Homo-oligomer: A and B are copies of this chain.
Amino acid sequence: MNIPKPSNKRIVIIGGGFGGIRLVSKLKKSGLQIVLIDKNNFHTFQPLLYQVATAGLEPGSIAYPLRKMFMGLPDFFFRVAEVVHIDADNHVVNTTIGSLSYDYLVIATGSTTNFFGIDGMSDESMPMKSVNEALYLRSQLLQNFECALLINDLEERKKLMNFVIVGAGPTGVELAGALSELKTHVLAQDYPDLDLNLMEVILMEAGDSVLGGMREKSSQKAKRYLEQMGVKVMLNTFVKHYNGHEVTTNRGNFQAGTLIWAAGVRGNIPKGLPDSAIEKSRLLTDAFSKVLHTENVYALGDVAIMRTKAHPNGHPQVAPVAIQQGEHLAKNLHRSLKGLPAIPFVYKDQGSMATIGRNKAVVDFYKFQFGGFLGWWVWMVVHLVSLVGFRNKVVTLMNWVWNYITYEHGVRLITKPIRPKGSASAVGAESTVITEVADAP
């Protein structure tokens, strides 16, 4: 692997996610000029996006301005831009704001939702990979309830109150748990004139367990928690089609006005790289994170697939891998500057965790497995510690304490109005109110 001389060469890093920001911070003293590019001016702490979607946190608690993050870093430049095309032969990145030559290029562009081309999915389902998508989901969720109030047809009303989540990975599980807590503790008070028993949260998973990546014991415990909380867990369920109202699966059809797609991701691969370096919509790298069949081009995290003895099919697409790869690449760059050989990457799997609800979480930590209150506590501490920025830690902690004590979700604001499904039939408010008068305590 061709290692640069420490003579004011430029490294261009695409993506301010977990891998990208770790790499930047570890290259501070490298003598390289660092140029970071991202389509947003902030880093998003994706593990907590689902709490933005369920009105538990505000975007500003989990997003952190990238300029602020690297304020005062010499010979560092950040630009808000999207990559149009990589000209690997000439070592140039073409972006929406012009071209940029590089000596080293790092692709840390992460992943985006993968609908696997399932019919109607990309049009009708709601993904949750960005702050804006989380805000849309929050708005849609609340709008559905506003809309359900206006509809006298029970079936229509029920449809608006049904939420199908596809994919029982951490995101799907945590979202399902948060939704059913929202139902019990918040929506029931907010919408006294609605029968919340109508609301259903259905978690569909193609595999035969929830949290497939975790230990048997954890995934069983998680399933138990979810069911205790009233989530309908459907395993071995393949979604075939969704038309915005009805989900078609191998186990029958289900009415739902909202389908949240958390079933898969694909790498954000910029144009211009050789097809021979692409596999399963990820970039094939060697053990040094270098993209195959390229020069001085590296890939980290979700977008990369690195085959090792321990992980013949590549590493899981989770934050710790990106962070460790970012750190490792920085280390190798430093070593090479000292004329030392590069070291192959080895993933230290510290385990994983997911929270289902208050006092309910599952944790695989090295050899240990635990859950319940302890697991929930550990989950919170770990996430607080990894949140970027002291302010965000404080704000998030405060919100969690607040929500824990009051069972509240403070920010139930519809700020991204979408025309809620079913609102076409949103007439007869009058008659609805009359009904309510009758029902009123």
Residue from A72, A131, A135, A440 having most chain B Cβ neighbours under 10 A: A440
Interface size on A, residues (CB 8 A): 64
Q: Is the CB of A97 within 8 A of B65?
A: no
Say whether, besides A41-B142, A77-B433, A398-B398, A67 and B413 are in contact (CB < 8 Å): no
Say whether, besides A146-B79, A413-B63, A433 and B398 are in contact (CB < 8 Å): no
A216 on interface, CB distance cutoff 8 Å? no
Expressed in whole angstroms, the minimum distance between the Cβ of A192 and any Cβ of chain B is 8
B68, B81, B413, B441: the one within 8 Å of A429 (CB): B81
CB within 8 Å of B: which A128-163 residues: 131-132, 135, 142-143, 146, 149-150
Q: Is the CB of B63 within 8 A of A60?
A: no
B98, B101, B149: the one within 8 Å of A427 (CB): B98
Expressed in whole angstroms, the minimum distance between the Cβ of A350 and any Cβ of chain B is 30
A410 on interface, CB distance cutoff 8 Å? yes
Expressed in whole angstroms, the minimum distance between the Cβ of A190 and any Cβ of chain B is 4
B33, B68, B415: the one within 8 Å of A437 (CB): B33
Q: Is the CB of B391 within 8 A of A98?
A: no
A408 on interface, CB distance cutoff 8 Å? yes
A74 on interface, CB distance cutoff 8 Å? yes
Expressed in whole angstroms, the minimum distance between the Cβ of A395 and any Cβ of chain B is 7
Q: Is the CB of A437 within 8 A of B150?
A: no
| Interface 0/1 of A187-221, CB less than 8 Å to B | 00111110000000000000000000000000000
In the complex, chain B residues whose CB is within 8 Å of the CB of A440:
33, 74-75
CB within 8 Å of B: which A56-78 residues: 58-60, 63, 65, 67-68, 71-72, 74-75, 77
Say whether, besides A427-B97, A429-B98, A391 and B413 are in contact (CB < 8 Å): no
Q: Is the CB of A413 within 8 A of B59?
A: yes
In the complex, chain B residues whose CB is within 8 Å of the CB of A81:
429
Q: Is the CB of B150 within 8 A of A98?
A: yes
| Interface 0/1 of A11-34, CB less than 8 Å to B | 000000000000000000000010
A42 on interface, CB distance cutoff 8 Å? yes
Closest Cβ neighbor of A41 among chain B residues: B414
Residue from A79, A98, A132 having most chain B Cβ neighbours under 10 A: A98
A374 on interface, CB distance cutoff 8 Å? no
Closest Cβ neighbor of A437 among chain B residues: B33
B414, B428, B436: the one within 8 Å of A42 (CB): B414
Expressed in whole angstroms, the minimum distance between the Cβ of A153 and any Cβ of chain B is 14
Q: Is the CB of A97 within 8 A of B150?
A: yes
Q: Is the CB of A98 within 8 A of B430?
A: yes
Closest Cβ neighbor of A71 among chain B residues: B189
A100 on interface, CB distance cutoff 8 Å? yes
A236 on interface, CB distance cutoff 8 Å? no
In the complex, chain B residues whose CB is within 8 Å of the CB of A98:
150, 426-430, 432
- CA distance in complex: A426, B79 (Å): 12
Nearest 7 interchain pairs by C-beta? A98-B429, A60-B411, A67-B190, A65-B412, A58-B60, A97-B429, A58-B58
Given A63-B413, A79-B146, A98-B428; 5 other pairs, CB 8 A cutoff: A41-B414, A77-B433, A98-B426, A98-B429, A100-B433
